[in-house]
Amino acid sequence: GENVEQHPSTLSVQEGDSAVIKCTYSDSASNYFPWYKQELGKGPQLIIDIRSNVGEKKDQRIAVTLNKTAKHFSLHITETQPEDSAVYFCAPRRGAGNMLTFGGGTRLMVKP
Amino acid sequence: DSGVTQTPKHLITATGQRVTLRCSPRSGDLSVYWYQQSLDQGLQFLIQYYNGEERAKGNILERFSAQQFPDLHSELNLSSLELGDSALYFCASSVGQGGSYEQYFGPGTRLTVT
């Protein structure tokens, strides 16, 4: 099965700084790369995703970059705000697969 | 609000007991997924149903079972409960049965086994 690792496990930044979370995966057949945000007491929510035919995707302050050769993709958050504080999960998968294999999560804390 | 509903929100029960968790998918979604989230195991996929049929199985214990009904709601049954079953159980739904369909997560059911 897919082996997924996220780094770092915790990240503390000052408000306004940038944050980068990296996800490495083992299945070279993976072609869908989503990032989820989980706030306290809530279920994970998809915030951005990218498919294997694209190297980068941006949505306002968040972006995802993909390096299929090295089998990793990263979440970039710029101009961080306190409401960005949450746990972030990556969950790469095959297009034809059903299972989501989540990374271990990264707890992001944005200090005002 | 994702449109996925789960009941109950909290459940406290004793070891050896059996409980049923319920999930209603978003309107129009045919797939339902169950996940378990615990501190030591993280978020783990348990099982998926698509239009009433089992489609994929993950790390689901034999003491656990699930089904999806004709109205597409799903139930996760947990029996012979152990302390280690205490966790958050999430249901997610998607339009399709695989591929890169976005999964929408419900708010979860927190199960505490004492």
What strands lie across the sheet with A45-51, from one edge to the other? Answer: A10-14, A106-111, A86-90, A32-38, A45-51
Residues of chain B with Cβ-Cβ distance to A51 below 8 Å are 100
Q: What is the pLDDT of residues A36-65, one digit of tens each?
A: 999 998 999 999 999 888 899 999 999 999
Contact B91, B29 (CB under 8 A): no
Q: Which residues from chain B sit within 8 angstroms of residue A89, using beta carbons?
A: 43
Chain A residue at shortest CA distance from B99: A95
pLDDT value at position A54? 82
- Where residue B61 falls among pLDDT bands split at 50, 70, 90? very high
Residue of chain A whose Cα is closest to the Cα of B102: A46
Q: Give the E-state strand segments of chain B in sequence order.
A: 5-7, 10-13, 19-24, 31-38, 42-50, 53-57, 64-68, 74-78, 87-94, 104-105, 109-113
pLDDT reading at B99 higher than 70: no
Answer whether B100 sits within 8 Å of A51, measured CB to CB: yes
pLDDT tens-digit series, residues A63-89? 999 999 999 999 999 999 999 999 999
Q: Which residues of B touch A98 (CB under 8 A)?
A: 33, 48, 55-56, 97-98
Q: Which chain A residues contact residue B55 at CB under 8 A?
A: 98
Q: How many C-beta atoms lie closer than 10 Å to residue A1's C-beta? A: 11
Which two structure tokens, joined as six digits, stand for A52?
């294997």
Residue A98 has pLDDT above 70, yes or no: no
Contact B102 A49 (CB under 8 A): yes
Cβ distance B92 to A43 less than 8 Å, yes or no, reads yes
Would you call B97 exposed, middle or buried from its count of C-beta atoms within 10 A (0-12, 13-18, 19+)?
A: middle
What is the model's pLDDT at position A95? Answer: 57
Instruction: Give the model's pLDDT for residue A96.
Output: 54
Taking CB atoms and an 8 Å limit, are B44 and A51 in contact across chains? no
